[in-house]
Amino acid sequence: MITKILKWAGVVIGGLLVLLFAFYIYIYFNIESRVNKVYEVKVQDLVIPTDSISLIKGKHLAEIRACTGCHGTDLSGGLAFADDKSPIGILYSPNITKGKGGIDYKDSDWIRTLRHGLGKDNRSLWFMPSHEIYQISNQDMASLISYVKSRPPINKINRKKSLKPLGRVLTFFNQFPLFPAEKIDHNAVPVDVVKASVTPEYGKYLAITCTGCHTASFKGAKAHGPDEPNIPDISSTGNLGKWNSEGFVTTLQTGKRPDGKQLSPAMPWKSFTYTHEELDAIYTYLHGLR
């Protein structure tokens, strides 16, 4: 009797393993098809300025739109989002200068990357948050490109990207935002200019960068890593709802919350250079979210 039960248990377990293996094979090829998908897009024409005012503005945009936070202040990359120890795969931020190991982009290539999340081959980039910034105004986009193009070449060869089985599974179930091109409206028409103002509308325009961690609802999420805290709710239903505008501004400028607690090192507040007006606008928007 016991022998028969063990035999049937073995058959059931074996069958489940076969099904799981078959399902993973399906996931594998699904991800491969998405990796190799070639997008047909019409790349926008933009005149990229070279004047000092545009470069200064572009530098500021690179800081508040998290370009320097990911690629480094010299834009040579190297930050590991997933290293050899990660069960997800290997993902290092690339060198986006013209140095050895970097890229040689024309203006159209920059626009393709930032507006569409695509590389020069029209395939989706990996883990590049183009979907968070692709709708910035034409003026801001031109200034941002002007700045990144102006950076001196840095010779730095970073690790090649790769994806492990868990990374494929998480991507398949939309738990890992690997392909930005899938999240972009490639027919969107950006506005020419967005004027700075202390309004919820301008705050929303700026706060889109925060969605990468705090999610589209700004209600927070689970921690990204084992040594990090859960990502907080930054809408009015979280701690921000108890703060006034000055408390929010002070928190982002000093890293210390109104209750005296220090922000987690996982929060890259030091890399942001928001103006007081910009922070007031973001607060106005976030404080109005229920």
Question: What order of strands is seen across the sheet that includes strand 80-82?
Answer: 80-82, 89-92, 162-163
| CB-count burial class (<10 Å; 0-12, 13-18, 19+) for 220 | middle
pTM of the model: 0.92
pLDDT recorded at residue 1: 66
SS3 89: strand
Distance of CA 120 to the CA centre of its chain: 19
Range list of H helices, 65-186: 67-71, 107-116, 130-133, 138-150, 165-172
Q: Within 10 A of 194 (CB to CB), how many other CB atoms are there?
A: 17
pLDDT recorded at residue 135: 95
pLDDT digits (tens, 9 = 90+) for 192-240: 999 999 999 999 999 999 998 999 999 999 887 677 889 999 999 999 9
pLDDT recorded at residue 19: 93
pLDDT recorded at residue 202: 98
Can you spell out the DSSP letters for 230-247? PBPP-STTSGGGG--HHH
What does the alpha-carbon distance between residue 6 and residue 82 come to, in Å, rounded to a whole number? 41
pLDDT recorded at residue 103: 95
Contact 251, 257 (CB under 8 A): yes
pLDDT recorded at residue 168: 97
Distances (CA, A) of 65 to 1, 169, 274, 285: 66, 29, 10, 17
For the chain, the 3-state helix, strand and coil shares in percent, each to the nearest 5, are 45, 5, 50
Domains and CATH numbers, the chain: 37-190 (1.10.760.10), 195-290 (1.10.760)
Q: Copy the structure tokens of residue 29.
A: 């090829």
Q: At what angle do helices 138-150 and 107-116 cross, to 10 degrees?
A: 120
Contact 202, 194 (CB under 8 A): yes
Q: Within 10 A of 87 (CB to CB), how many other CB atoms are there?
A: 10
Q: Which residues does 285 contact at the CB level (< 8 Å), separation at least 6?
A: 200, 201, 202, 203, 204, 206, 207
pLDDT recorded at residue 244: 96
pLDDT recorded at residue 8: 75
Q: Copy the structure tokens of residue 85.
A: 């120890």
- Positions of the chain with pLDDT lower than 50, given as ranges: none
Q: Copy the structure tokens of residue 41.
A: 């897009």
